[in-house]
């Protein structure tokens, strides 16, 4: 054991709320209600998504917390949903409001970072299996042992890590602002919002089916292997498909060439469509629709920007067939009409939009680097491998 450090159960350092609020308390309805859906994986609280208990009409079965609490989601601890708060409120029964027992023994922010560490998350995830449900119960959470240095070092470590969090928060704000700017550029350049309305009104309306074609070639000769089977998500685009969801026989899987599009006809209404931006052909499910842009009609990048607009989502949701769940096949999509400029003007618009998109990607790469550096720093600081200099207690 490192000199001055102790190994203690979390329950010796914190207390967890146990009494639920009185639903008849009129003050409760005016307080913000926090649930796991409001917490970010990896730590943090999405304040913009918060509503009061009265607005949500959800008051019963809640725990009360104050600005000194740590909020921790007991559901699926592998997602690591935990946050510091700076206001009074209530939280769902799927959460644990946690307080430090003795400020002379433990610092709240330090405990937060310990609970946010890879070691703690792994231990909590392992213990959650005992319940038979994807959650961790109170005794198991309290029983997780953590390394605790002297309070002065706890403060210093928390101060260092907080600096990294502040950098990450600023980068996240910058990314959101850049994403909002790209959305505005798309509205203006693709559909003539604001100053370009007259210009776009002169563009001819073209059926999507006149400038694209469906692709149905399958992997009959088994040219492509299983590691090239991809799925489509609405948040990350084209991603490797999980092995357990891939069929034993992949000969029926469709080929998706570079710069062609694929989508699940059952989920395009929620944005599950993407362009293959890689330079190699991949495979997608035989149930997917695959199509490509015709030369001289519409540029693939141009269509890729269009499909990420509110206009696209509105028109896709207004089409399709099926009484239970909407299905949008190629013929449905091909019937869409969109204003389409000449290829040279498409190229100019693409240049502006791709530049704005590249700025977002650069910010995301920086965020990823900072986040990975912070994780490495946490590992060093929270285990005592790297010592900090702090004033004596």
User: Looking at the 3D structure of the chain, how many domains does it have?
Assistant: 3
| Domain span holding position 247 | 204-340
> Do 72 and 170 have their domain in common?
no
Q: What is the CATH number of the domain that holds 220?
A: 3.90.220.20
> Do 247 and 292 have their domain in common?
yes
pTM: 0.81
Instruction: Spell out a b/e string for 131-154, using b for 16 or more CB atoms within 10 Å of the CB, else e.
Output: eeeeebeeebbbebebbbbbbbbb
Q: Could you tell me where the DSSP H helices lie in 192-243?
A: 197-201, 208-211
For residue range 155-186, what is the model confidence (pLDDT) as tens digits?
999 999 999 999 998 999 999 999 999 999 99
> Do 350 and 369 have their domain in common?
yes
> Do 90 and 210 have their domain in common?
no
Residue 188 forms part of a structural domain = no
Residue 10 forms part of a structural domain = yes
Residue 174 forms part of a structural domain = yes
Residue 91 forms part of a structural domain = yes
> Do 267 and 369 have their domain in common?
no
Residue 353 forms part of a structural domain = yes
> Do 165 and 142 have their domain in common?
no
Identify the pLDDT of residue 47. Answer: 83
> Do 334 and 355 have their domain in common?
no
- 325, 340, 355: which is the final residue of a domain? 340
> Do 275 and 173 have their domain in common?
no
Contacts of 275 (CB under 8 A, 6+ apart): 237, 259, 260, 261, 300, 301, 303, 304
> Do 256 and 123 have their domain in common?
no
For residue range 12-60, what is the model confidence (pLDDT) as tens digits?
999 998 777 766 666 777 888 898 999 988 888 888 888 887 787 776 6
Residue 192 forms part of a structural domain = no
> Do 305 and 359 have their domain in common?
no
Q: Is 205 exposed, middle or buried (0-12, 13-18, 19+ CB in 10 A)?
A: exposed
Residue 197 forms part of a structural domain = no
The answer to whether the CB of 281 falls within 8 A of the CB of 256 is yes
What are the average pLDDT values for consecutive 10-residue runs of the chain, which has 393 residues?
A: 88 87 72 90 85 77 88 93 92 92 95 95 90 86 95 95 93 94 94 56 90 96 92 90 91 97 90 93 96 95 95 78 65 92 94 97 96 93 89 62
């Amino acid at each position: 054991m490192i000199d001055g450090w102790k190994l203690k159960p979390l329950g010796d350092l914190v207390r967890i709320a146990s009494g639920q609020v009185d639903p008849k308390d009129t003050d409760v309805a005016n307080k913000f209600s926090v649930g796991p859906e409001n917490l970010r994986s990896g730590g943090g609280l999405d304040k913009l998504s918060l509503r009061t208990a009265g607005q949500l009409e959800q008051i019963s079965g809640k725990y009360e917390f104050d600005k000194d609490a740590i909020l921790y989601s007991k559901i699926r601890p592998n997602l690591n949903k935990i946050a510091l708060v700076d206001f009074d409120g209530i939280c769902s029964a799927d959460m644990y409001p946690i307080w430090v027992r003795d400020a002379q023994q433990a610092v709240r922010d330090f405990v937060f970072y310990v609970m946010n560490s890879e070691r703690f998350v792994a231990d909590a995830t392992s213990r959650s299996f005992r319940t038979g449900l994807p959650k961790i119960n109170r005794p198991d959470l309290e029983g997780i042992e953590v390394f605790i240095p002297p309070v002065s070092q706890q403060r210093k470590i928390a101060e260092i890590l907080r600096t990294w969090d502040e950098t990450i928060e600023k980068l996240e704000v910058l990314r959101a602002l850049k994403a909002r700017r790209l959305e505005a550029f798309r509205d203006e350049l693709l559909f003539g919002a604001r100053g370009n309305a007259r210009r776009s009104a002169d563009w001819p309306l073209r059926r999507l089916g006149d400038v694209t074609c469906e692709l149905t070639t399958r992997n009959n000769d088994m040219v492509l292997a299983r590691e090239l089977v991809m799925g489509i998500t609405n948040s990350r685009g084209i991603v490797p498909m999980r092995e357990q969801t891939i069929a034993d026989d992949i000969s029926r899987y469709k080929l998706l060439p570079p710069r062609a599009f694929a989508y699940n006809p059952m989920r395009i209404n929620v944005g599950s469509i993407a362009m293959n931006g890689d330079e190699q052909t991949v495979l997608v499910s035989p149930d997917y629709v695959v199509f490509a842009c015709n030369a001289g009609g519409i540029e693939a990048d141009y269509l890729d920007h269009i499909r990420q607009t509110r206009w696209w989502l509105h028109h896709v949701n207004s089409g399709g067939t099926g009484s239970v769940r909407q299905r949008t096949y190629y013929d449905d999509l091909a019937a869409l009409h969109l204003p389409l400029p000449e290829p040279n003007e498409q190229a100019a618009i693409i240049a502006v939009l791709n530049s704005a998109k590249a700025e977002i990607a650069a910010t995301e790469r920086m965020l990823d680097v900072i986040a990975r550096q912070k994780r490495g720093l946490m590992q060093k600081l929270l285990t005592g491998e790297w010592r900090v200099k702090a004033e004596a207690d």
